[in-house]
Amino acid sequence: MEKIYTSTRNKTIALSGKEAILKGIAEDGGLFVYDGLDTLQLPIQDMMDMSYEEMASIVLKTLLPDFSEEEVIDCVEKAYSEKFSDERITPLHTVGNTHVLELFHGPTCAFKDVGLRMLPQLMSKSLQTHKGRDVMILTATSGDTGKAALEGFLDVDNIGITVFYPDNGVSNIQRLQMVTTEGDNTCVCAIEGNFDDAQSNVKKIFQDKELAERLNACNIQLSSANSINIGRLIPQVVYYIYAYKEMVKKGDIVFGERINFCVPTGNYGNVLAGYYAKMMGLPVHKFIVASNANNVLFDFLKDGVYDRKRPFYKTISPSMDILISSNLERLLYYKSGKDAAYIADLMKQLEEKGAYKVRDDVLERVKADFCGGYCDDKACADAIREFYKETGYVMDPHTAIAYKVMKDYEQKDPTHKSVMLSTASPYKFAPAVYEAIFGHLDMDEFEYMDELQKKTGAKIPTPLKSLKEKAIRHTHQIHKDMMGAFVETTAKEMFHD
């Protein structure tokens, strides 16, 4: 099959779609990109009459041409049918004059489900083609990826999953969702450190050749469920097109009109998928990249300097507490004119000096499609409260960041319509949301959930409500330097005992 996926850092590392999904990240630390992406066009106008599932099939077939039509249809069916609490998968609501794309109706109540319901399906098909091996998925999580990946890979044949989360770096509800996971192929481990430590060490494990050889001897290979895996990124392209279709259908825009998307951003996976849709023809004016107090992307979009040497803040939007935004590397690849040597050099500077500055022409091209904004915890809480008082709609703290940044942006550009992406159920962050609207109470998170429901009438999602009754099954806790050894032991035990 055609080797259309190449490393952002070296074009001679080239794989087919299936191979790239199985591998997760290139051996030189680069991310896999479809080199010819800018030459592809989706039939956007035809897609305006399609269901979410039909759209998903077209997107997958276009970006993963080594999957057969039957394989794609089977993956879409298994990933989405009856797995989401809303049959539209990602419904678009108009609240007052704000367009909200709700991405949190999957089994774990955050947008990560859209990608992580699909990735295991794609991986299973890829394993059928490349037979005879077991795969251990490694995942670093800032809170939401972990549970979505655990759910997605639960009891999938020949695949095991290990999730690392920063101890004290996730909300208690997020932690409980993960540590109560069942299944014999799941492992959850807290590390002393923050999300960046977890993500960097996972990337290092992928580059550890000796570890790979020892595992290979046991017929085990490692892969990733983070958004560095293209199999997770590609499914996220679909909801941008779906949102556009809904805007047209509801008469908010005419077909062809360009709109903005405002995206609460951490690792740049969500917003990059939107940019992929734009490259393939979706009429988008700007992507508004919304950050919390960890505003490294805001600074980058201003002057082209990416500098992670800065204080790390723990905020009430923990899934965005990230200073090393992995998928920016893919964007820079395209915006540099696909200059792999240049990207390899930037990433080397980031690793060695903690910072890099992009060329002016690269920054100009980035700015043509993206602009940034940020807001702190106080402004975020104010946004949750004010929007609730105005409309009765309850936003989670990540969505609220997008809301605030979008409203600020609309002052500057009132001409284009904007859609904001809502990335989590407010109940995942019930204490922060309740406190923002009604003030502090001395209660645990489940009592906060109940109170929030009583006062607002917004329904608690079943998977979160039932969490209270579940037994804790995972209690591992290790130092961040022990992650490699931990993976080796876990993988060998899981597949050979």
Instruction: Give me the residues that bind ligand PLP (CB under 6 A), please.
Output: 110, 112, 144, 227, 264-270, 319-320, 398, 423-424
Minimum distance from CB of 237 to ligand PLP (Å)?
A: 13
User: 324 vs 23, 199, 226, CA distance in Å?
Assistant: 21, 9, 13
Minimum distance from CB of 264 to ligand PLP (Å)?
A: 4
Q: Pick between residue 235 and residue 264 the one whose CB is nearest to ligand PLP.
A: 264
The pair of structure tokens assigned to 445 is 């998170």
Q: Sheet holding 32-34: strands in order across?
A: 10-15, 5-7, 32-34
Minimum distance from CB of 92 to ligand PLP (Å)?
A: 18
Look up tokens 């899934």; give the residue.
319
Phi, psi dihedral angles at 313 (to 5 degrees): -105, 135
Residue from 256, 192, 195 nearest 48 by CA? 256
Q: Pick between residue 122 and residue 290 the one whose CB is nearest to ligand PLP.
A: 290
Could you tell me if 102 and 423 are in contact, meaning their C-beta atoms sit under 8 angstroms apart?
no
Q: Pick between residue 98 and residue 267 the one whose CB is nearest to ligand PLP.
A: 267
Q: What sign does the CA torsion over 425, 431, 432, 436 have?
A: positive
Distance (Å, whole) CA 195 – CA 80: 29
Q: Pick between residue 106 and residue 264 the one whose CB is nearest to ligand PLP.
A: 264
Minimum distance from CB of 81 to ligand PLP (Å)?
A: 23
Phi, psi dihedral angles at 428 (to 5 degrees): -70, -20
Q: What sign does the CA torsion over 419, 421, 304, 30 have?
A: negative
Q: Pick between residue 4 and residue 433 the one whose CB is nearest to ligand PLP.
A: 433
Minimum distance from CB of 334 to ligand PLP (Å)?
A: 17
| Bridge partners, residue 140, by sequence | 164
Q: Pick between residue 57 and residue 319 the one whose CB is nearest to ligand PLP.
A: 319
Minimum distance from CB of 216 to ligand PLP (Å)?
A: 31
Q: Pick between residue 16 and residue 422 the one whose CB is nearest to ligand PLP.
A: 422
Minimum distance from CB of 274 to ligand PLP (Å)?
A: 10
| Bridge partners, residue 479, by sequence | 192
Minimum distance from CB of 1 to ligand PLP (Å)?
A: 28
| Bridge partners, residue 186, by sequence | 161
Could you tell me if 106 and 114 are in contact, meaning their C-beta atoms sit under 8 angstroms apart?
yes
Minimum distance from CB of 91 to ligand PLP (Å)?
A: 17
Amino acid at 268: Y
Q: Pick between residue 72 and residue 433 the one whose CB is nearest to ligand PLP.
A: 433
Cβ neighbours for 192, distance < 8 A, ≥ 6 positions apart: 167, 477, 478, 479, 480
Could you tell me if 122 and 21 are in contact, meaning their C-beta atoms sit under 8 angstroms apart?
yes
Minimum distance from CB of 292 to ligand PLP (Å)?
A: 9
Q: Pick between residue 205 and residue 328 the one whose CB is nearest to ligand PLP.
A: 328
Phi-psi region of 292 (alpha: psi -120 to 50; beta: other; left: phi over 0): beta
**Helix, strand or coil, per DSSP, at residue 226:** coil
Q: Pick between residue 211 and residue 424 the one whose CB is nearest to ligand PLP.
A: 424
